[in-house]
Amino acid sequence: MKRVMILNGPNLNLLGVREPHIYGKTTLEEIRQNCEREAGKLGLAISFHQSNHEGELVDLIQSARQDADSIVINPAGYSFTSIAMVDAIKAFEGPVIEVHISNIHARDELHRHSKISHAATGVICGLGPYGYIAALSTLAQMKKG
Ligand code: CA2
């Protein structure tokens, strides 16, 4: 069974609670439940994490080298700043799908240029919480994922 590590960066624990006009009303817990349901259908084994701490996210990405075959990551605010996460992702051999709930290309200058995309296999943005499902479905179909 393919193992997928799903990682969520800073402030995503506030989804559905604050700023619903940008990020919608779905909570991170609901996204987790939807991912569990979809993974069951697709025959994937998932682990789901959220952290507000860059080092903890780097540790998780490193642990994926042993614990996962592929990664789905919403790096949130660290998308635009974290070279450490880019380096950790580059050391991971499997596919990495970067997901953003909002369309970062339609956002302000501060939220437009993800550094993580440089190291990602693919990027999904602007599809709302469905982006996580699209990522899982893609990985299920990939030879290497
Ligand atoms: O659209 C996404 O998924 C983002 O990764 C979310 C990040 C943002 O910095 C990226 O540009 C796009 C922000 C996550 C913060 O989430 C909040 C949710 C509710 C209230 C406040 C922040």
**Which residue of the set 49, 53, 78, 100 is catalytic?**
100
Q: Is the CB of 111 under 6 A from ligand 1?
A: yes
What pLDDT, in 10s, does the model give residues 42-88?
999 999 999 999 999 999 999 999 999 999 999 999 999 999 999 99
Residue 132 known to be catalytic: no
Higher model confidence: residue 100 or residue 145? 100
Pairing state between β 44-50 and 70-74: unpaired
Q: What top-level class would CATH report for the domain 2-141?
A: alpha beta
- Judged against a pLDDT cut of 80, whether residue 18 lies above it is answered with no
Q: Is the CB of 18 under 6 A from ligand 1?
A: yes
SS percent in the chain: helix, strand, coil, step 5:
50, 20, 30
- Judged against a pLDDT cut of 90, whether residue 22 lies above it is answered with no
Q: Is the CB of 128 under 6 A from ligand 1?
A: no
Ligand 1 atom with the smallest distance to the CA of 110 is 11
CA of 143 to the centre of ligand 1 (A): 31
The CA-atom distances, in angstroms, between 17 and each of 11, 13, 21, 49 are: 11, 9, 11, 18
Higher model confidence: residue 33 or residue 108? 33
Instruction: Please tell me the number of Cα atoms within 13 Å of 141 on its side-chain side.
Output: 5
Domain ranges of the chain: 2-141
